[in-house]
Amino acid sequence: MNIFDLTGRVAVVTGGNGGIGLGIAQALAAQGCNVSIWGRNAEKNKSAAASMAGSPGKVDTRVCDVTDPASVNTAMKATLDTFGRVDGCFANAGIGGGGRRAFIDRTEEEWRTMFATNLDGVFHAFQAAARHMTDRANAGDPFGRLVATSSIASIFGTARNEHYAASKAAINAMVRALGVELARFGITANAILPGWIKSEMTAGIMANEKFVANVMPRIPMRRFGEASDFGGIAVYLMSKASSYHTTDCFVIDGAYAAY
């Protein structure tokens, strides 16, 4: 038996219409997992689903604002109506640093907006998924996977984006607590921490020769990877093989850390 065969499993991927989220959704579908992509933009959702045409797993999309609990609950109900179950939830919501201003110059609104955007999406999606998973476990079907994408900033900090680092560290803390709380239901909770990823967002940074020469060597996890690399991590964490890696930290390929 192939322990990474996800045929028949169902995963929700929030923000799965681009970047890391899309790489995760594509990898899961390629392993036979049915995937429900939740994102705000219907056209991007449609494009993401088209990129997985021909995959063994069925792909479904939902227009959903993951920071709004009502929207999340509606999307979860629709996903359950379509697939009958949800086995995993990969929360990829959030925004970046929002500028390089000093901590003492930040406003209350900036602080609250950063925390709300980065934390609420994970909280609402995880809560909706966990309620379903625990109900299923109580009915004799103990299996569930909660995975959040976080940031190496949550471990190493980041100059003048400290409120971003704090919000991501809060996600890691929540994941660890959920790992303890939900273990008795057969539900694991983990966070994937991206390193440096090739994307439109980082293209300008990597075009700066001084940055590459002087800064990159000092970044602990500095391999420059593809968003699709996280797909392999997602498949592993979704599989039965990851049952004992709840809240443990391990490094993959010398570059990517997961909790």
How would residue 254 be classed by pLDDT, with cut points 50, 70 and 90? very low
Query: Once rounded to an integer, what is the mean pLDDT over residues 47-58?
Result: 95
Residue among 164, 236, 256, 259 flagged as catalytic? 164
| Catalytic residue list contains 244 | no
104, pLDDT greater than 80: yes
Query: By percentage, how much of the chain surpasses pLDDT 70?
Result: 83
User: In the beta sheet, which residues pair with residue 39?
Assistant: 63
CA–CA gap between residue 217 and residue 62 (Å, rounded): 41
**Which residue did the predictor score with more confidence, 50 or 197?**
50
Comparison of pLDDT for 179 and 203, the residue scoring more: 179
**Digit-coded pLDDT (tens) for 105-140:** 888 998 888 888 889 989 999 999 999 999 999 999
Rounded Cα distance between 236 and 179, Å, is: 17
Confidence of residue 1 (pLDDT cuts 50, 70, 90): very low
- The distance in angstroms from the start CA to the end CA of the chain is 26
- What pTM was estimated for this model as a whole? 0.88
Is 146:175 a contact under the CB 8 Å cutoff?
A: yes
Compare 93 and 1 and report the one with higher pLDDT: 93
SS3 percent helix, strand, coil of the chain, rounded to 5, is 50, 15, 35
The model's confidence at residue 50, banded by pLDDT at 50, 70 and 90, is: very high
